[in-house]
Structure 1
Amino acid sequence: MIPDNLPAPAAADWDFPRSALGVALLVRHAVRAGLAPEAALAGTGLAVDHLEAPGAVVTAAQELRVVRTLQRHRPGSGAEVGASYDASTFGVLGLALLSSRTVRDAVEVALRYVDLSHAFAIPRAGLVDGRLVVDLDGSGLPADVRAFLLARDATAVDTVLASLVPGGVGARLSLGADRARLEVDAAELDRPLARPTGRAAAQVDRLAEQLCLQAVARRRERTGVAQEVRVLITQRLAAGAPMPEVASALGLSERTLRRRLGAAGTTYRELLEEVRALLAAELLGAGLPVAEVARRLGYAETAALTHAHRRWAGGPPSSARREHPAFTQRSPRPHLQAPSRTT
């Protein structure tokens, strides 16, 4: 029996950090339109190799910049881009979708973790008169790319939903200037997805849910300018993530950035420490050598990482492998001792 309610989407609007996989897909379409990858990324501060890094994240503003470039060179291609989506486009969220038991479970996961997607037109879903109705409101999107984004996101929802079960779900998509709607017979929500069975299925479910919880916890724990700064730091970490460069990427002076971070209850140094601590846990847990992790985190010497790791986690970098969430059920966030604030 299908319950008559579905969860509200986790994000109220589109201004959240997102996986670089969405930008990588946009770049591939731009290349087909005759652009070099570097030209597609112009003005974003992103390098092509960043898009291919595991777990790479971009800001919404960076993805919008690439969308605008693609729109100029291939007008009206939003639906074409959306039709090229599949579950793997969403990374960890895709894993959660594919490991769902039924179509309804997949819809619920997508709504609960919509901020792990690439959506700008946020979908909202409900059951009305025996139908699943998914509404996407594009009225709040930038006018110059509204049609592109609405067509892309609505088509992506339609395409991915259809891919979950053989023969699709028979969705009916209507696309307007500012809004889009998909309608599906509610009976389709009971259809099971092809998935592993027994113990393997339970393990896939736990892993998918755990990964989603970890990822959204990290992205949601900072908001506004502090979260944008964290994303930009991550992209520039190997070069030390100098504050003047990050401030410039935001169109701010260093003084203004310090003031805004102070109003948000943090400092640039604190955010740099947080990003380094989180990435160190992931990279060390994945088995990378300590020297390589130190280089990726922007440390001139391995000893600097060793000292920092003792401060974050109370032990040497070698302890991260034993405590990494891939091997334990502990929270992935290292305990941080906040550094003294600077002005």
Structure 2
Amino acid sequence: MSTVQEAGIRDWDFPRGVASVALMAGFAREHGVPTARILQGSGLGERQLIDPDAQIDAHTELAVIRNLVRELGDRPNLGLEVGRRYRITTFGIFGFACVSSPTLGEAIAFALRYLELSFTFCIPAARWRPGEFVARIHDERVPADVRRFLVERDVTAMYQMLSDLLGRHVELLRAEFDFASPSNLDLYTEIYGLRPTFEQEHNLFTLDPALLEQPLPQANEHTWAMCLAQCRELVSRRRARTGIAAEVRELLVPRGGLDGYAVPPGIDAVARDLNMSTRTLRRHLDAAGTSYRQLLDEVRRALSEEMLTATPLSVSDVAIRLGYAEASTFIHAFKRWTGTTPSAYRRGAITPPARR
């Protein structure tokens, strides 16, 4: 039997900080390319690269990546060279949350849930099964002109993060890539400690699942709780919905407040309220990078956190008011959203984010 965990996002088109762009600009400078050339056409200025609060969209970083590949693309395995520069500290509060997680497995689960706080363009999915942990790296939606660079960069950055978390090089069981083998594999073997295979069906790497149970050397329950709260708040700000997604969210929020029953309308009812077919609504939501299920989860999560912290309702009552037939189904969903149970959340094991 295997357990699969998908990332909390389906696509690379999410807002991000500038640390990744600053890292690539620094790499380019070291190899004789002025920062102005790397930022050309991105709309970014050099001053913005040192602003820790600056936020850009993914297409801005993509413009910088294309400039980097244009300027230095003749270097073999450029993506590997750049990817090994990404360390846990590059990722700010997201990285600190991973570092302070209790175990490597819990750090990976957290990273997948909050992947939109990273800089990745390739979307990982994890599978736990007897004898093997498999990380499959999806590149289907990555633009073809920079796909190989980004697979090399993002997979290497993920590997570097795992090594940073454990404080040593992680031993891979195997690594596979869907593109042709380079002429020289020395850098691959230097970084990964093995010879990958190429022209495979998927991009993936595997670990001994026993590694996932290992406590992390810098684990700290209090720090982890604070980092989780800050990450949730940051994600909430970045997920401010507009357009069709905002209209659907409004229809999913109950009118009766926290004390009333809040069984949410189904997608067919929402589509009727918006005077469109269900198929058209699905298409519009997909174009907006979301889905009815994802929006319903966002609404249910927000309501459940509020009910658990602002009312004396039992977990079973919260489940009923959110439209769940059984409390166990709600508990499973809540743990998927937050990494903890409703009861533990209420006890304060995970501090709720400050309300604004």
Counterpart for residue 51 of structure 1: 49
TM-score of the superposed pair, with normalisation by structure 1: 0.62
CA 1:151–1:330: 2 relative to 1, 3 Å: closer
Is 1:215 matched up with 2:234?
yes
What CA distance in whole angstroms lies between the structure 2 residues aligned with 1:129 and 1:329? Answer: 35
Q: Which amino acid aligns with 2:216?
A: L
Deviations 1:173-226 (A, max 9, x none): 322228421100100101111125xxxx33201211011101111111236899
Q: Do residues 72 (structure 1) and 70 (structure 2) align?
A: yes
RMSD, aligned CA: 2.4
* Contact 2:18 2:49 (C-alpha < 8 Å) held by counterparts: yes
Aligned length: 228
The aligned residue for residue 162 of structure 1 is: 163
| CA drift at 1:79 | 1.1
The one-letter amino acid of 1:103's match is: L
* Paired residues of 1:174 and 1:181 also in contact (CA < 8 A): yes
1:9 to 1, 7, 10: 7
Any unmatched runs of 5+ in structure 2? 180-200, 247-287, 289-350
TM-superposition CA deviations, 1:53-92 (whole Å, max 9, x none):
1222111100000100110111141111111111111111
What is the deviation of 1:25? Answer: 0.8
Give the 3-state SS of the residue equivalent to 1:100 in structure 2.
Answer: coil
Q: 2:202 and 2:158 mapped to 1: Cα distance?
A: 14
Checking the alignment, whether the CA contact within 8 Å between 1:87 and 1:94 is kept in structure 2 is yes
- TM (norm. structure 2) is 0.60
1:185 and 2:198 aligned: no
Aligned match of 1:37: 35
Q: Which moves more between the two structures, 211-220 or 3-12? A: 3-12
Structure 1 window deviating more from structure 2 (5-14 vs 140-149): it is 5-14
Which residue does 1:339 correspond to in 2? Answer: none
Corresponding letter in the other structure for 1:173:
A
What pairs up with 1:1-343 in 2 under 5 angstroms? 5-75=3-73, 76-171=77-172, 172-177=174-179, 179-195=202-218, 201-222=220-241, 331-333=354-356
Deviation by residue 1:125-163 (Cα, 9 ceiling, x = unmatched): 111332110011212211110000011011111111122
Structure 1 residue 169, shift from structure 2 partner: 2.9
Contact 2:6–2:124 under 8 Å retained in 1: no
Measure the CA separation in 2 of the matches of 1:109 and 1:101: 11
Letter matched to residue 83 of structure 2:
G
Contact 1:139 1:179 in 2 (8 A): no
| Closer/same/farther in 2, CA of residues 14 and 225 from structure 1, 3 Å limit | farther
Structure 2 distance, partners of 1:13, 1:224, is 18
Unpaired stretches in structure 1, ≥5 consecutive residues: 228-263, 265-327, 334-343
Q: How far off is 1:13 after superposition?
A: 0.6
Cα deviation, 1:289-343, whole Å, max 9, x if unaligned, reads xxxxxxxxxxxxxxxxxxxxxxxxxxxxxxxxxxxxxxx966354xxxxxxxxxx
Query: Structure 1 stretches (4+) deviating beyond 6 angstroms?
Result: 224-227
Give aligned-pair identity as a percent: 36
Q: Is the 8 A contact 2:124 2:137 kept in 1?
A: yes
CA distance in 2, matches of 1:90, 1:57: 13
